[in-house]
């Protein structure tokens, strides 16, 4: 990752929070569980919206209405997964510092969040967007978020 971030990882590694999280196996495990619950809610809500962009599922409702209805659950999922994610980071900063999977995950996460709150938001709130644009937005959303999940799981294996 950027060399400029090295002090951040060192600082996190030496912090009180890091020592606290590492002090027992179960603290890390519980954070992983919360992280998974966040993933379920976030990706579940996004999936329903993405599939709607392809014309599957909640078809009787305009895309914009569905997007508004699901927004609160997307946000609850996002806050849960980011909060637990930051704490998981504090649980093993130096391991993550040297993990290519983590670097890829952070890059994809950054892109996914930017996309989510700019282009994706614009397309889903505009019911006059062309079906082609809807599909492109759906594919990008699926690829980015599942990419984040895939890279995240890879941290444990690679």
For another protein, the binding residues (CB under 8 A) are 25-26, 29, 32-33, 36-37, 39-41, 43-48, 51, 56-61, 65, 69-70, 72-73, 146, 149-150, 153-154, 157
Question: Based on CB atoms, which residue is closest to another protein, 12 or 74?
Answer: 74
* Least separation in angstroms between CB 67 and another protein: 12
Question: Based on CB atoms, which residue is closest to another protein, 32 or 126?
Answer: 32
Q: How far is CA 127 from CA 53, 66, 114, 133, in A?
A: 10, 11, 21, 11
* Least separation in angstroms between CB 85 and another protein: 15
Question: Residue 65, Cβ neighbours under 10 Å: how many?
Answer: 13
Question: Based on CB atoms, which residue is closest to another protein, 29 or 79?
Answer: 29
Question: Residue 57, Cβ neighbours under 10 Å: how many?
Answer: 15
Question: Based on CB atoms, which residue is closest to another protein, 9 or 82?
Answer: 82
* Least separation in angstroms between CB 33 and another protein: 5
* Least separation in angstroms between CB 68 and another protein: 10
d(CA 10, CA 50) in angstroms, rounded, equals 39
- 18 within 8 A of 12, measured Cβ to Cβ: yes
| Number of DSSP helices (H) and strands (E) in the chain, helices first | 8, 0
- 50 within 8 A of 156, measured Cβ to Cβ: no
């Amino acid at each position: 990752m950027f060399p400029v971030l090295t002090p951040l990882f060192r600082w996190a590694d030496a912090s009180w929070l890091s020592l606290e999280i590492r002090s027992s196996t179960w603290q890390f495990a519980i954070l992983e569980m919360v992280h998974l619950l966040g993933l379920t809610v976030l990706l579940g809500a996004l999936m329903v919206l993405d599939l709607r962009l392809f014309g599957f599922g909640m078809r009787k409702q305009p895309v914009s209405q569905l997007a508004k209805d699901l927004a609160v659950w997307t946000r609850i999922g996002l806050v849960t997964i980011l909060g637990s994610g930051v704490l998981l980071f504090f649980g093993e900063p130096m391991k993550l510092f040297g993990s290519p999977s983590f670097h890829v995950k952070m890059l994809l996460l950054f892109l996914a969040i930017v996309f989510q709150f700019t282009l994706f938001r614009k397309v889903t709130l505009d019911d006059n967007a062309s079906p082609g644009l809807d599909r492109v937005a759906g594919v990008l959303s699926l690829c980015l978020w599942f990419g984040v999940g895939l890279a995240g799981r890879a941290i444990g294996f690679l």
